[in-house]
Amino acid sequence: MTTTTITVRAPASTTNLGPGFDVLGLALELHNELQVERVEEALPGPVRVEVEGEGAGLLERDAANLAWQGIARLYAAIGRPAPGVILRHRNQIPVSRGLGSSSTAIVGGLVAGNALAGEPLDREALLALAVEMEGHPDNVTPALLGGFQVMSLTAAGLVHLRLPTPPGLTAVVCVPDVAVSTAEARRVLPSHYTRQDAVFNVGRVALLVAGLLTGQLGVLQSAMEDRIHQPYRADLIPGFQAALEGAHRAGAVGACLSGSGSTLLALVQGDPEPVGAAMVAAVERAGATARWLSLAVAEEGAAVLRPA
């Protein structure tokens, strides 16, 4: 039996950063690894899936698996039949918590498939496929490319720019023991907004990007306010508003919902412990359990791990 094994490491991501709905994303130093073993022997189906860590009892173990779909989409794009593979997920990123676990699977599958196929596609082509699969660019772009990403879908395709990471900036994430599906989090959003709310968010996004670019992080508490999605999702998250307020009192420069939740995100320069503890306490007062993590910005996106 002939085998080839590829291992891809992809970072978590947080999106929106408050007002930047579907247009801002940030990669975080928490990773999922995907090992893909191409096998020549016949399998019961096109793929066999094994999962360790987060999502072990939740992720699909058949052709519905997102990493397999990424591999299959890559091979379809280059006009070749997909090989039979064994997928081994080693996951650190919580599932359905607004930290981009599904995007790491999509991106991991595409990058691994590209490596198996001899790397026929460049990063921009892989990103286009990832956006097509995910339906929006805010998680897959930082997962593939790393760092702070600003992005917009245009008539000519996705335009994305990377912002420099301000020195000493750390993300503190509070992860409640409450799952929130992206579909449910989008269902609660209104179909129309007032001009006042639109102007509010445009101003906050501009202030947020300017604050990050200039290093004037004192504006972030106001800049990370939002009227487009957070007010409508707040009821899905135990202790939502109290946790953000607690983070600010404990020294965070800004705080928001991470993606569609349920994770809460604070940006910190300094000691992360008081901020994490304050957010967890607020969630626990609301009747749920939670944990917090201090995560650096992941400057590198998804990558094939080479043997040492």
Query: Which pLDDT tens digit goes with each residue over 35-66?
Result: 999 987 666 667 899 999 998 887 888 889 99
The CA-CA-CA angle for residues 283, 91, 128, to 5°, reads 100
| Averaged pLDDT of the chain | 93
Q: Would you state the structure tokens that stand for residue 230, as one six-digit string?
A: 């957070």
CA nearest to 292, candidates 279, 302, 308, 303: 279
Which of 24-28, 43-47, 259-263 is modeled with the greatest confidence? 24-28
68 backbone dihedrals φ, ψ, rounded to 5°: -60, -40
92-121 per-position pLDDT tens digit: 999 989 999 999 999 999 999 999 999 999
179 — pLDDT class (breaks 50, 70, 90): confident
pLDDT of residue 108: 97
Between 38 and 31, the more confident residue is 31
Give the CATH number of domain 3-162+297-304; options: 3.65.10.10, 3.40.50.300, 3.30.230.10, 3.30.365.10.
Answer: 3.30.230.10
Same fold, 3-162+297-304 and 170-295: no
Give the SS3 label for residue 35: strand
- Token look-up 């306490």 returns 281
Residue 10 pairs with which residues in a beta bridge?
32
Every domain of the chain and the residues it spans: 3-162+297-304, 170-295
CATH 2.40.30.10 holds for 170-295: no
Inform me whether the pLDDT recorded for 307 exceeds 70: no
pLDDT the model gives residue 180: 85
Kindly report the pTM of this predicted structure. Answer: 0.92
